[in-house]
């Protein structure tokens, strides 16, 4: 009789444990009843179906010149090329984003250090991820390809040879501005360079790397820099992270 009582107790306790786990799972589901949205990831390198395509190799309709008027970079063979007409910026402004950019430094090597394949990708027009030919081209650490320019060197240097296509996948969370325009909460950069992590949740504060813009804002344009080198860009898309 004592053995049966112990066995019955254990069965009852097991049943209660299973019931408690099930109720906890139901509580989690009830607290967050939304299924993740279904999207098509698209081809390798995207764009996914929920992305805003900023350049698909056809035209510069999504861009304007930073110094005014229409963007005038050269478009040919599915790429845009810097051509000494000034930096360009998106017509639309963004806050927190996932950004995909492909770029290539000139195949014909000219110059060295910062004078070789130099350009840049600016989030909100303020915070630059450096574009540079960093294949066997030493320069200061926080100014090479994959750097958060002037702030953080890349963790490693995965740069391909000049003329080969490189890929940036950038997660950007913007600094949050106070009413007077000063940042009250830092944002951050996470950057994959050719699929390799080079910026790991690096803080982004209110100070900027672009003299034309001051302070933290909720939204701003994406800017591609004309630094006098014929760098190419292709397959640019963005996903706002709301």
Rounded CA-CA distance 159/193 in Å is 8
Is the confidence at residue 227, as pLDDT, over 80?
yes
Provide the 10 A C-beta neighbour count for residue 57.
15
Q: State the pLDDT at residue 176.
A: 86
Q: What is the largest CA-CA distance in the chain?
A: 94
- C-alpha distances (whole Å) from 6 to each of 2, 10, 11, 56, 131 are 6, 6, 9, 71, 71
Q: What residue ranges do the domains of the chain occupy?
A: 1-34, 52-240
Domain 52-240 is of which CATH architecture? Sandwich (2.60)
Q: What is the token pair recorded at 148?
A: 């958060």
Please tell me the pTM assigned to this model: 0.83
Dump pLDDT digits (tens) for 157-180: 999 999 999 999 999 999 987 776
Q: How big is the CA angle at 155 (ends 153 and 159), to the nearest 5 degrees? A: 90
Is the confidence at residue 101, as pLDDT, over 60?
yes
Number of helices and strands in the chain (H, E):
1, 15
Dump pLDDT digits (tens) for 63-97: 999 988 999 999 999 999 999 999 999 999 999 99
Is the confidence at residue 202, as pLDDT, over 70?
yes
Strands 196-204 and 63-65: unpaired
Rounded CA-CA distance 142/122 in Å is 15
Is the confidence at residue 217, as pLDDT, over 60?
yes
Q: State the pLDDT at residue 109.
A: 83
Is the confidence at residue 6, as pLDDT, over 60?
no
Are 127 and 215 within 8 A, CB to CB?
no
Rounded CA-CA distance 129/170 in Å is 9
Residue showing tokens 């209110």: 206
% of residues, the chain, pLDDT over 90: 68
pLDDT band at 20 (very low <50, low <70, confident <90, very high): low
């Amino acid at each position: 009789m004592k053995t049966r009582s112990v066995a019955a107790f254990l069965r009852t306790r097991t049943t209660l444990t299973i019931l408690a786990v099930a109720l906890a799972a139901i509580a989690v589901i009830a607290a967050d009843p939304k299924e993740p949205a279904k999207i098509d990831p698209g081809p390798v390198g995207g764009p996914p179906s929920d992305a805003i395509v900023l350049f698909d190799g056809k035209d510069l309709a999504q861009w304007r010149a930073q110094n005014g008027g229409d963007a005038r970079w050269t478009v040919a063979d599915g790429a845009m090329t810097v051509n000494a007409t000034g930096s360009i910026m998106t017509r639309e402004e963004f806050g927190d984003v996932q950004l995909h950019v492909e770029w290539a430094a000139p195949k014909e090597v000219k110059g060295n250090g910062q004078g070789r394949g130099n350009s840049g990708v600016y989030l909100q027009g303020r915070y630059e991820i450096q574009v540079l030919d960093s294949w066997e081209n030493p320069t200061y650490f926080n100014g090479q390809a994959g750097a958060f320019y002037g702030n953080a060197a890349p963790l490693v240097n995965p740069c391909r040879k000049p003329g080969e296509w490189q890929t940036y996948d950038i997660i950007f969370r913007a600094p949050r501005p106070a009413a007077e325009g000063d940042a009250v909460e830092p944002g951050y950069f996470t950057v994959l360079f050719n699929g390799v992590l080079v910026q790991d949740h690096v803080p982004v504060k209110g100070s900027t790397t672009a003299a034309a813009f001051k302070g933290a804002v909720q939204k701003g344009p994406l800017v591609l820099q004309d630094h006098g080198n014929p760098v190419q860009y292709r397959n640019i898309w963005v996903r706002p992270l709301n």
